[in-house]
Amino acid sequence: MITTTNLTKKYADHLALNNLNLTVKPGEIYCLLGANGAGKTTTINLLLGFISASSGTASIGGIDVSKDALASKKLLAYIPENLMLYPSLTAVENLDYFSGIAGKKFSKLALEEFLENAGLQADAFHKRVEAFSKGMRQKVGIAIALAKDASALLLDEPTSGLDPKASNEFGLLLQQLKAKGIATLMATHDLFRAKEVATHIGIMKNGELIHQFVSDEISLADLEKVYLEAMTY
């Protein structure tokens, strides 16, 4: 569902991403670990079509993003570190607006059900999101993905700044999306959360994917050891 083939991005003399090859199948959660500047966000921006590749391909559902960005975006949902919602609108109104952009139209009851399934408390459905915590905003983002019926989900540091409870709740929501067959690619610094939710884990450094693991086949202690070693050499 999410594929990169020899994906490369150069900025003048700086190689931000070097021949990245990865695949995320339906129902998989792939976590990309790495320091700032490792290439995680560049990868996501290329898959979103926000920037153009220097070479190689980025594909969503078999669609080359560079050739048909609009078609690929119809399959996608994206939750950045700081999700931008309209602060003067309620959760229901934001969901109605963003699902409308995706060509979907739902009743108020259906919109509320999406928010409920995303874990947002009922008393927040009709409150303006300007008063929402980051965790509550992320739940609206998950509701948008559900309403859009996205096949692929791209996440850029979604748990950064969340308290442990909210981070755990977000992890549980990702597991629900996994059960629905959604392919998820998440860039994160959080080794613990990556090990907890991911089916696959990759470690990036200086624009290259230097390690890949099946999550069930590596312990958290070993993952931490490999990660720290990778960051120091």
> pLDDT per residue over 8-27, tens digit each?
999 988 999 999 999 999 99
Mark whether 98 and 58 lie in a shared domain: no
User: Which of 148, 167, 191 corresponds to the end of one domain?
Assistant: 148
Instruction: Single out the residue in 148, 165, 188 at which a domain terminates.
Output: 148
CA pair distance 141, 147, nearest whole angstrom? 10
- Residue 80 counted as domain residue: no
Identity at 115, one-letter amino acid code: L
Are 64 and 178 part of one and the same domain?
A: yes
Averaged pLDDT of the chain: 92
> Domain range spanning residue 228?
2-75+151-232
pLDDT at 32 over 90: yes
The CATH number of the domain holding residue 58 is: 3.40.50.300
Same domain membership, residue 9 and residue 57: yes
For 77-133, how does the pLDDT look when each residue is reduced to its tens digit (9 = 90+)? 998 888 889 999 999 999 999 998 888 899 999 999 999 988 899 999 999 999 999
Do 67 and 179 lie in one domain? The reply is yes
Helix residue ranges per DSSP H, the chain: 40-48, 69-73, 91-101, 108-117, 134-148, 164-179, 191-197, 220-232
User: Both 129 and 179 in a single domain?
Assistant: no
**Structurally, how many domains does the chain consist of?**
2
Question: Kind and range of the H or E element at 154?
Answer: strand 152-156
Are residues 144 and 156 located together in one domain of the fold? no
Q: Where are the beta strands (DSSP E) in 12-92?
A: 14-24, 29-33, 55-60, 63-64, 76-79
Whether 10 and 70 map to the same domain: the answer is: yes
**Co-location of 170 and 208 in the same domain:** yes
Q: Which residue matches tokens 């991403």?
A: 17
- Whether residues 108 and 205 share a domain: the answer is no
Do residues 225 and 157 both lie within one domain?
yes
Strands 183-188 and 14-24: unpaired
**CA pair distance 33, 28, nearest whole angstrom:** 16
Look at residue 233 and tell me whether its pLDDT is greater than 80: no
Give the pTM.
0.90
- Residues 167, 190, single domain; the answer is yes
Q: pLDDT band for position 153 (50/70/90)?
A: very high
Domain-terminating residue out of 124, 148, 172: 148
